[in-house]
Amino acid sequence: MPKAATAPKRRTTAPPPTQQQTLDVDVSTDEFFTGLDEMEDFANTVLYGREGSGKSTAMSRLVNLRPTGKLLVINAEGGLKKIALRKRGVDVSRIVVWPKRGTPITYKGLIQVCNKIAAELDDNPESWIGVGIDSATEVVQAILQHVQEKRVDSLRRQGKPVDENHIDIADYGDMSKMFRDVLRKFRDLPCHVVITALERRDVDKDTGKPQYGPAVTPGLQADLLGYVDFVLMLKAGDEDGPFRALTRANSRYRAKDRFDVLPRVLAEPYLDRVVGYLHGDLIEEEDPFQEDLPTRAKVSQDAVHDEDDEEDADQDE
């Protein structure tokens, strides 16, 4: 007698994991949160100014903060000169640069570098003192060029006519998205991050007056300034005073001090001094460099450029 047919077993679907089950940490414990007083404050900083204003040197002095750990510099501008840095008291033996000579800077490469630094810091928090991007102006141009070249190659493979020198509006959009991602990832590293930039002159559409800030596209400038805690406008030493930086914004210059620890005009604005102010090791009233800062240097910081000098065109145009 043939066996009676059996009904197929009903397939059961396991319920989806709850949000709590998908987390790596048990939210019922205090380990899920970090107390603000347990977090270390790092000097995420933008340094901008004209060529030769001391940006690369100021950035490189991060390595002098302590005797161990390295400083990585994204050497897009090629401004690091070991002889000059040694003369200015920089320990160049612990500075490493990326990329190697002849290697292009790309979005993918920058993300790989950031991931490597993050992994090494996770393994040993003392392995890296910080990262310097020198400069944002050149990194933006490098990413834009790479994006444009990829688009041209794609069109050429499709047999479409192409202008190799044309930069499409979509290229700027792709570049901006990539650069913002790079900024966020580097900013979130548990170490000091310094970004240099040339100076850009714009005209305020409401007042018609010139304004100065980092030389990147207007959209990226807002992101760049918003992602960091310090924005310093650097001025090389001149007849009005020594090497110095404006740390507070005014009607003409973009600057900020989110921690409210720096003097309005900081003499010798090397990053080891900025971190000293951040951690309370330096205060303006006891800083000999501030005591020696001439009054005219503080005043002239508001008038670095001649209002009538129309030849201060955008650095990146």
Do residues 290 and 173 make contact, with C-beta atoms less than 8 angstroms apart? no
User: How do residues 71-108 score in pLDDT, each as one tens digit?
Assistant: 999 999 887 888 999 988 899 999 999 999 889 999 99
Do residues 188 and 302 make contact, with C-beta atoms less than 8 angstroms apart? no
User: 260 falls in which pLDDT band (50, 70, 90)?
Assistant: very high
User: 265 falls in which pLDDT band (50, 70, 90)?
Assistant: very high
User: How do residues 218-227 score in pLDDT, each as one tens digit?
Assistant: 889 999 999 9
User: How do residues 175-217 score in pLDDT, each as one tens digit?
Assistant: 999 999 999 999 999 999 999 999 999 988 888 889 999 999 9
- At residue 113, the pLDDT reads 97
Q: Where are the domains of the chain?
A: 40-303
User: 20 falls in which pLDDT band (50, 70, 90)?
Assistant: very low
- If we measure between CA atoms, which residue out of 86, 84, 89, 38 comes closest to residue 65? 89
Q: Which residues make Cβ contacts (< 8 Å) with residue 75, sequence separation at least 6?
A: 97, 98, 99, 134
Q: Is the pLDDT of residue 243 over 90?
A: yes
Q: Is the pLDDT of residue 277 over 70?
A: yes
Q: What is the mean pLDDT of the chain?
A: 85
User: 9 falls in which pLDDT band (50, 70, 90)?
Assistant: very low
Architecture of domain 40-303: 3-Layer(aba) Sandwich (3.40)
User: How do residues 40-55 score in pLDDT, each as one tens digit?
Assistant: 889 999 999 999 999 9
Between CA 1 and CA 210 the distance in angstroms is 99
Single pTM value for the model: 0.82
User: 12 falls in which pLDDT band (50, 70, 90)?
Assistant: very low
- At residue 30, the pLDDT reads 62
Between CA 28 and CA 256 the distance in angstroms is 39
User: How do residues 110-145 score in pLDDT, each as one tens digit?
Assistant: 999 999 999 999 999 999 999 999 989 999 999 999
DSSP alpha helix (H) spans, 29-135: 55-60, 82-87, 107-123
- At residue 309, the pLDDT reads 46
- At residue 300, the pLDDT reads 59
